[in-house]
Amino acid sequence: MKFQITARDPSSKARCGLLNSAADTIETPAFMPCASHAVVRACSPQDIAAVGIQAVMCNAFHLLIRPGSEVICQAGGLHQFMNWPGLIATDSGGFQVFSLADRSDIIEDGVSIRSPLDGSPIQVTPELSVQAQNQLGADMIMTFDDCTPYPCGYAEAAQSMERTLRWAERSKVAHNNPEQALFGIIQGSVYPELRRESARATVEIGFPGYAIGGVSVGESEAEMFTALDAALPELPLEAPKHLLGVGVPAQMIAAVKRGVDLFDCVLPTRNARHGLLYTWEGIVRINNAQYREDSRPLSELCDCPACTHYSRAYLHHLFRIEEAAAWRLLSLHNLRFFAQLMEQIREAIGAGNLGELAARLAAITPS
Amino acid sequence: MKFQITARDPSSKARCGLLNSAADTIETPAFMPCASHAVVRACSPQDIAAVGIQAVMCNAFHLLIRPGSEVICQAGGLHQFMNWPGLIATDSGGFQVFSLADRSDIIEDGVSIRSPLDGSPIQVTPELSVQAQNQLGADMIMTFDDCTPYPCGYAEAAQSMERTLRWAERSKVAHNNPEQALFGIIQGSVYPELRRESARATVEIGFPGYAIGGVSVGESEAEMFTALDAALPELPLEAPKHLLGVGVPAQMIAAVKRGVDLFDCVLPTRNARHGLLYTWEGIVRINNAQYREDSRPLSELCDCPACTHYSRAYLHHLFRIEEAAAWRLLSLHNLRFFAQLMEQIREAIGAGNLGELAARLAAITPS
């Protein structure tokens, strides 16, 4: 994987780039919707390509459980399995494993959990996660990290961060596919000194890209940016940087200004399935009775399939009857908004007016 | 609405035709998937047009409950509301009303039920059903009939058939939109003499088209065809004829041979959502473990989005994780099969070889 910086914002650390993998070249800053189970929920891969999505984030843990990484390997990897030519990242599954585990289930070797499918015991280790990710064949893969919970005392956060470092080393050793870029994950909770140490030591191990984990887990926005401000300056300027699990537009712009290139989040699609739609004219909550007879599209400024073909009244009806067709159309709308948002961020970096875009977003999106 | 017969099978009563409404001209024999709530479940109107569907059957009762016929009227009618340029039929809702009612809830005036949405009392009468259908603005609408249950004794079936005749007269009087063709519905349960009388008397009232109701409600296939054989010869040769609720391919061909032109059924889409796929190579039950690593498309002979883009292994995975994306792709596959089936039926009528098509279907579809 190659990363080439193509433009820089004169007044911040924001930059545009081209991220080149065996599969595809994508423009950064970029947003990857979550395709945890090798599908963006309610949408086909063909659908999301049509609304301008360049990359997706799958989840090694979910895919290890079902259909099994060997099934996807046998199909020729995730690109073939999903018939998705764009970039694919896989998360190591740390976050999901930890949501199923007690802290007491974590030992130095890895994490013991029970399969959410059949209750059978599984031990997930850095080696197992990286081996699964090698089999899955994504372009970008992640080290297996100890996801620090929130809130977390300093001593525990330090332990967790140090374990993440040891697991990052083991992940790097286990990694055996040079076509895939293994990103190191930074932890350290809300403590700037731990974040700084995590970044420094992860860079010492050495990865082609870095991801910031353990954010958007309940901490305040100020705490998140304090953590980012501590970690990011320690990372190599020329390396691509991914902020895991952040999908609030204003936060994404603030992170871009700090030098972040890549994002993934379930928010646009989950919000769509709950009837919250982003438009450049403001938020639309499609369940509201005011849309019952509204013949206008969700947005006059959007060219997604929902806005091109259907009225708010029809989408309101489909949403009210809990139609899968609504989840798809509304998800595609929000994904189109995010694709347009990233285009606008890239243009604003080139034009040096990210501040204006941030102000425009603040007026139309919920905090 | 105009109906023009364009070809006749020399060895049966099968015929091809062009059914022309204000909205569209469709080729018959034709199959209409059910879009009961103004949507074919899991699919967008744009989706189903792309797989060759020409017409859909909506349900006046469901739409009366939600979003309300006045909402759809205000949108400019169902064509505008759904943004569907093809032909639209509405069922009068008799079938659904009766599934919610006891026989004791039926009085001469209509049927008293409680709204499935909020439990409020509703009295559905022929006038209310036709008024709702006038507001909905479909091209083809149906008289409000007393759906005879199965099994049903002769005396009760006779009473129900006679009430259907009185309601057909009231439906015709209530109908006030000359752009819409009101079809009369034939009842009479499994009794040939009642079916014959129902057909004769309905023709005496006079409608531009006729529908056979009260079939596919639990009776044997032999009983259904006995009923058809009694009713169909009494109907005008030149009128379009619709068989309500029948979607088993072999039964459709047998009905076409008796002079039926139109069908509607939930089967192709419901079967798809349950993982049963029709292909010209045979039935595929996509949940079966044998498809876990099968890289072939569902069918080599199909050009639907599922077959064009995805493998059986991927569809098996999406189905197993209960993904709405699977319901859509599999529904579109089955709808494409039904569109192709109707094309083949029309071609076979022209070529005089419906028998060969019937034999081919018998080998690939479940009875």
- Across the interface, whether the CB atoms of A46 and B305 are under 8 A apart is answered yes
Q: What are the distances in angstroms from CA A112 to CA A108, A126, A130, A162?
A: 11, 12, 16, 19
| Whether residue A264 lies in the annotated active site | yes
Kindly give the residue spans of alpha helices, DSSP state H, lying in A87-188.
94-100, 126-136, 154-174
- Across the interface, whether the CB atoms of B310 and A41 are under 8 A apart is answered no
Q: What is the pLDDT of residue A94?
A: 83
- Mean per-residue pLDDT, A291-296: 98
Task: Provide, as residue numbers in chain B, all residues whose Cβ is less than 8 Å from the Cβ of A42.
Answer: 323-325
Touching B: A residues 279-298, CB under 8 Å: 292-293, 295
Q: Which residues contact A194 (CB under 8 A, 6 or more apart)?
A: A154, A157, A158, A161, A187, A188
Instruction: Look at residue A367 and tell me whether its pLDDT is greater than 70.
Output: no
Measured CA to CA, the distance from residue B147 to residue B125 in angstroms comes to 13
Selection from B73, B82, B12, B78 nearest residue B43 by Cα? B82
Percent of chain B with pLDDT over 70: 100
Token pair listed for A209: 């890209």
pLDDT tens string B46-90: 999 999 999 999 999 999 999 999 999 999 999 999 999 999 999
Q: Does any CB of chain A come closer than 8 Å to the CB of residue B42?
A: yes
Q: Which residues contact B85 (CB under 8 A, 6 or more apart)?
A: B23, B24, B49, B79
Task: Provide, as residue numbers in chain A, all residues whose Cβ is less than 8 Å from the Cβ of B318.
Answer: 39
Give yes or no for a cis peptide into A85 (omega within 30° of 0): no
Q: Does any CB of chain A come closer than 8 Å to the CB of residue B49?
A: no
Q: Which residues contact A274 (CB under 8 A, 6 or more apart)?
A: none
pTM score, two decimals?
0.97
Q: Consecutive sets of 10 residues in chain B, 367 residues long: mean pLDDT of each? A: 96 97 95 98 98 98 95 98 97 86 86 89 94 98 94 97 98 97 98 98 98 96 98 98 97 97 98 98 97 98 98 98 98 98 98 94 81
Which strand ranges, in their side-by-side order, compose the sheet holding B140-142? B30-33, B262-265, B241-244, B209-212, B181-186, B140-142, B87-91, B55-59
- Of B74, B309, B314, nearest to A293 by CB-CB distance is B74
β-strands A121-124, A111-114: how paired?
A: antiparallel
For residues A82 and A35, the answer to whether their CB atoms sit within 8 Å is yes
Choosing from B47, B91, B146, B261, the catalytic residue is B91
Q: What is the pLDDT of residue B6?
A: 98
DSSP A106: B
Choosing from A9, A47, A91, A261, the catalytic residue is A91
Token pair listed for B159: 């009473």
Kindly give the residue spans of alpha helices, DSSP state H, lying in A106-233.
126-136, 154-174, 192-205, 221-231
Q: Residue B188 region, left (φ>0) first, then alpha (ψ -120 to 50), else beta?
A: left
Selection from A304, A276, A248 nearest residue A49 by Cα? A304
Q: What is the pLDDT of residue B367?
A: 58
Measured CA to CA, the distance from residue B266 to residue B216 in angstroms comes to 12
| Whether residue B91 lies in the annotated active site | yes
Q: In the CATH scheme, what is the homologous superfamily, with its name and number, of domain A29-265? A: Queuine tRNA-ribosyltransferase-like (3.20.20.105)
Give me the interface pTM, i.e. the ipTM: 0.97
What is the assigned CATH class of domain B2-265?
alpha beta
- Of B44, B292, B320, nearest to A325 by CB-CB distance is B44
pLDDT tens string B146-198: 999 999 999 999 999 999 999 999 999 999 999 999 999 999 999 999 999 99
Q: What is the pLDDT of residue B364?
A: 87
Residue A65's DSSP bridge partners are none
Owner of token pair 């400024």 = A301
Å between B237 CA and nearest CA of chain A: 39
Domain extents in chain A: 29-265, 267-367
